[in-house]
Amino acid sequence: MKHPVAMDTNFKDDGDTPYDTSKPSSFLTYRLSRVQARLNAQAADLLRRHGGVPLAQWRVLLLLYGGDVSSQKEIVGLAQFDKGQVSRLVDTLIERGLISAKSGGKDKRVRTLSLTDDGTAIVERLIPIMRERQRQLLSVFSAEEQTRLMEFISRLDGVADKLDI
C-alpha cells in the first residue's frame, strides 16, 4: 500500500481534542479514523486488483452469499447500513447482474434478493483472497490480545451512545 508513514507520533490531534498533544489518548478518535480508512483502502484495493466489486457492494454480496439475509430490511439489520444506501447498492448490483430480486412475497413492499450465477462466481473467487487478508491482519495479535481489542471496541461502542452532550 501507499501512505506516507508520517505523523504516527507527531500530529496534533484528531479533530476532537484541540491542544494537549502530549497525551496519546487525545488522538484516539483521530487514529481510529485513520486506521479505519487505511484498512478500507487496502480492502478496496484488493477487491479492485482482483477484478471485483467496490467494498460496499462486496459486503452486500457476502451477506447474500452466506444466506443470512434475503431482503433489504435484513441487510440493514445485520450490517447496520443505512437503508437508503442499501436501496441504492441493491439497485447497482441488479444493474450489474450480480443479484436478482423477486417481488412475489406476501408483503408486496419486499423484494426477495438472491445472488445470480455471476454474483456467486465472483464471491467464490474472492472469498479465499479476503480470508487470507483477514488472517494476515490478525497475525499481529495473540488470541488474548484479539479478545482484549474486541472488548475495547465494544466499550467504545457502548459509550458513544451515552454521551450526554
Work out whether 81 is an interface residue with DNA (CB under 7 A).
yes
Work out whether 155 is an interface residue with its own copies (CB under 8 A).
yes
Q: Which amino acid is at 60?
A: V
Of the candidates 28, 76, 129, 130, which one interacts with DNA according to CB under 7 A? 76
Work out whether 16 is an interface residue with DNA (CB under 7 A).
no
Q: Which residues pair with 112 in a beta bridge?
A: 102
Query: Please, which residues have CB within 8 angstroms of residue 86's CB and are 6 or more apart in sequence?
Result: 60, 72, 75, 76
Of the candidates 31, 94, 114, 116, which one interacts with its own copies according to CB under 8 A? 31
**Positions 57 through 116 that interact with its own copies (CB under 8 A):** 58-59, 62-63, 65-66, 68, 77-80
Work out whether 55 is an interface residue with its own copies (CB under 8 A).
yes
Using CB under 7 A, list all residues that contact DNA. 2, 33, 37, 40-41, 44-45, 54-57, 71-73, 76, 81-91, 106-111
